[in-house]
């Protein structure tokens, strides 16, 4: 429930103040002072939105005892990943191939001579697109790649699967703040009515911090979900006439 802080001249309505003291317990009042003719309220607003950009790093790995064989296998894997993505409807402009990386485990200073496979390598194809739904569909249809022998792996950061962003945040922000303002005004108006006063002009406002949560509101890793929930708690001080 919204938090409300009240300041009223003692001579205005002591009886209304006493009644408000009881009402405020259920409203989560932060402070209650009989000082000046103003009311400070917190407006809460939440908005469920959809991501508008997706980045998907498709990483694949190979290992073997022959450098050329590992390199060739990775090249073939990259070609299969590219073909898969094109079949899923992605254009060349939405795809990026990164250089293959191969490592000789015996060449490492800290390496052990007892390795099962001497060479290991990784490759990556990156999808960057505004077509979020297409990425969701493709990410759930990678079985043919696995069946073809492509060994899918996590990206260099240890993350697997697409990442979803909200690049149009600044376009949505005014709507969210407007909703918080309306919520705060409703709370202030309700108090003014109960106190038999009239809500006056806005004296001060604090936008607060906009929080981006995942689609179930848990606030864990928001980049993994297409849906996102925006939440803001803004503080407003209104005069009471």
27-57 pLDDT, tens per residue? 423 333 345 688 889 999 999 999 999 999 9
> Distance between CA 73 and CA 83 in Å, rounded?
15
Which domain, by its residues, includes 15?
Answer: 4-43+169-208+232-240
Confidence of residue 24 (pLDDT cuts 50, 70, 90): very low
CATH of the domain at 62: 3.30.70.2970
Residue 214 lies in a domain: no
> Distance between CA 39 and CA 130 in Å, rounded?
45
Is the pTM for the entire model greater than 0.75?
yes
Q: 101 and 34: one domain?
A: no
In tens, the pLDDT along 49-83 reads 999 999 999 999 999 999 999 999 999 999 999 99
Residue 222 lies in a domain: no
**H or E stretch at 80:** helix 67-87
In tens, the pLDDT along 160-210 reads 899 999 999 999 999 999 999 999 999 888 888 888 888 888 888 998 899
In whole angstroms, what separates CA 115 from the centre of its chain? Answer: 42
Q: 91 and 178: one domain?
A: no
Q: CB neighbours of 165 closer than 8 A, spacing ≥ 6?
A: 51, 52, 53, 54, 55, 223
Residue 48 lies in a domain: no
Q: 31 and 81: one domain?
A: no
Residue 108 lies in a domain: yes
- Taking only Cα atoms into account, the Rg of the chain, rounded to an integer number of angstroms, comes to 29
The pLDDT score that the predictor gives to residue 95 is 98
The total of structural domains in the chain comes to: 2
* Strand-pair category, 119-129 with 53-64: antiparallel
Q: 29 and 71: one domain?
A: no
Q: 175 and 120: one domain?
A: no
Q: Where do the DSSP E strands lie in 65-198?
A: 95-104, 119-129, 152-153, 163-165
Residue 155 lies in a domain: yes
The pLDDT score that the predictor gives to residue 35 is 56
Query: Rounded to 5 degrees, what are φ and ψ at 157?
Result: -90, 5
Q: Provide, rounded to the nearest whole percent, the portion of the chain with pLDDT above 70.
A: 81
Q: Please determine, for residue 134, whether its predicted confidence score (pLDDT) is greater than 60.
A: yes
End-of-domain residue from the set 162, 181, 200: 162
Residue 225 lies in a domain: no
Residue 136 lies in a domain: yes
Q: 22 and 58: one domain?
A: no
Residue 152 lies in a domain: yes
The pLDDT score that the predictor gives to residue 6 is 36
> Distance between CA 110 and CA 130 in Å, rounded?
43
- State whether residue 13 is helix, strand or coil: coil
Q: 143 and 87: one domain?
A: yes
């Amino acid at each position: 429930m919204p938090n409300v802080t009240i300041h009223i001249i003692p001579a205005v309505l002591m009886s209304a103040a006493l009644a408000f003291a009881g009402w405020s317990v259920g409203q989560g009042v932060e402070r209650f002072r009989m000082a000046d003719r103003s009311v400070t309220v917190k407006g809460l607003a939440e908005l469920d939105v959809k991501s508008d950009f997706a980045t998907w790093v498709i990483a694949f790995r190979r290992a073997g005892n022959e450098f050329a064989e590992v390199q060739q296998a990775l090249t073939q894997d990259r070609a299969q990943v590219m073909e898969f993505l094109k079949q899923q409807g992605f254009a060349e402009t939405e795809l990026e191939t990164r250089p293959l990386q191969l490592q000789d485990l015996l060449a490492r200073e800290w390496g052990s001579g007892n390795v099962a496979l001497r060479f290991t390598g990784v490759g990556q194809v990156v999808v960057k697109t505004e077509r979020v739904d297409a990425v969701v569909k493709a990410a759930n249809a990678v079985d043919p790649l696995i069946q073809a022998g492509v060994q899918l792996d996590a990206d260099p950061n240890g993350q697997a699967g697409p990442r979803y962003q909200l690049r149009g945040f600044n376009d949505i922000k005014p709507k969210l703040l407007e909703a918080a303002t309306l919520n705060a005004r409703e709370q202030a108006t309700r108090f003014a009515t109960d106190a038999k006063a009239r809500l006056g002009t806005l004296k001060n406002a604090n936008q607060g911090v906009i929080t981006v949560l995942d689609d179930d509101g848990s606030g864990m890793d928001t980049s993994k979900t297409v849906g996102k929930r925006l939440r803001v708690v803004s503080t407003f001080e209104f005069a009471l006439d």
